[in-house]
Structure 1
């Protein structure tokens, strides 16, 4: 860990001097030291990834709570940096996951259209700026859930912000497959998939209840992602196992990594973790209901045959070899 820390300090020292991004400075120093991992040098790429489980903040009217969520996010970012992570992944609504009853104009007894004027947008904006500044300071990518405000009367998006190691918002993923309550009363749906690259690895984003929809994950396989960052929320532990099981299944069926980030209250059932392409957990946070993170290396072998074969199998490979006829008429009453 000390060696890795010294290496990162060299990268940070070079970047401001040359005007390069953290990634460009990292690549230069690796080349100079004979440790280049670009596609021209190896068929295996790797990245140190952190996944976090955070406290659940559900009242967007409470500016103090919004600030506390920002403090917690930044504390975990610093911990991830000390462990050598290049990217840290947070749950849905890591800054705040507004409760539908708190937001309801006719609530809390009845759930109706959300009143987004209740959200302390000014405090949220300040916390987002602080997160970006720390990402730049650490040279760390951060992906975290937040509400994204749109011009009224449009409802906001439920989003994942992708902040680069230069502290810039490089892209945003908006949840597409919203729940009945979300689409009826709370949010505007997103329009499409989002991918981005860090260290020659391509990431995709999924959010909320989208683990229930395999088409979201097969779409990312077609887009050549190496890892899907799936962020969800929740305070009821009993809701966690189906999502976690689906995360493992998507990893195995698509032969890529899946990072599963949920809020800490659910960890007593299933903690946040990183699912490997073999459909097993590579690493998981503690199952104690407390905020935490886990860090591990994810790697991709470009020559591994499983993924190309599955793509071939999903094409029209079998059509030419199918035999015409009704299988019921060919049974001949025997095996």
Structure 2
């Protein structure tokens, strides 16, 4: 942990995901404004929030309008700068042919700069092919002294990924998942409690009847949770001084130096 000096307010967005990237961009920016109005320092969106997701909104990579997606990403970054709001958003990342894109989370700073990108490492196979090219490393970034990590979708099923973030002295893991299975929340709560992590879990409106998004504290309990079936923004405060986290502060992770691993990438 990096000795944060003050509490940090973060938002998790439960957004619609459309096939039209321009509609996604307008919707995303409206929720960014809502989070800013509520005092959030960072907002976290779901998997494919800007681009759409393969096998849901996208059935053929050849039909993707990448220029339109680039324009919406640039406009979203500009809006983040205007609001001074860190923005973490699900968006496909194009790779040179014949490679399939990455399933990614872009991290946009409050200056409107894409400071890093997380690419899903453990990609699903539909039985015939991979829709996405896997990434290769953990990715972290720091906001106001708190270290954040990222995960995507079915990676929630792999406890070793969250344990690796714990070893990197991560405070918050942002999990984006286009799924409706309640087990994702149960597993996220377990990862939070076992590793003393806050976890932001962002899901789309389209799957929220089974899996509404929310923010989980390092004791494994939800601090805030979105309403099922509604576009919304929920807010929680990250603060290690809160009395309910006395037990968490005694976790072994706060009593040892962070470990470094060759396959883990840390971004300043």
SS at match of 2:82: helix
Q: How does 1:1-335 map to 2 (within 5 A)?
A: 39=3, 45-57=6-18, 59=19, 65-100=20-55, 115-181=60-126, 184-234=129-179, 237=180, 239=181, 241-287=182-228, 289-301=229-241, 305-308=249-252
Unaligned segments of structure 2, at least 5 residues = 257-268
SS at match of 2:129: helix
Which structure ranks higher in relative contact order (CA pairs < 8 Å, sequence separation ≥ 6)? 2
What is the TM-score normalised by the length of structure 2?
A: 0.87
| CA shift for structure 1 position 309 | 6.7
- Confirm or deny: 8 A CA contact 1:45 1:201 kept in the other structure: no
| CA shift for structure 1 position 158 | 0.3
| CA shift for structure 1 position 261 | 0.3
Q: How many residues align?
A: 251
Larger radius of gyration: 1
What is the TM-score normalised by the length of structure 1?
A: 0.70
CA RMSD of aligned residues (A): 2.3
| CA shift for structure 1 position 311 | 7.8
Moved over 4 A (4+): 101-104, 301-305, 309-312
The answer to which structure has the higher strand fraction is 2
For 2:119 and 2:149, locate their aligned partners in 1 and report how far apart those are by CA, in whole Å: 12
- Confirm or deny: 8 A CA contact 2:148 2:174 kept in the other structure: yes
For 1:158 and 1:66, locate their aligned partners in 2 and report how far apart those are by CA, in whole Å: 16
Unaligned segments of structure 1, at least 5 residues = 1-37, 60-64, 105-114, 313-335
Aligned to 2:259: none
Cα distance change of structure 1 residues 183 and 88 upon mapping to structure 2, 3 Å threshold: farther
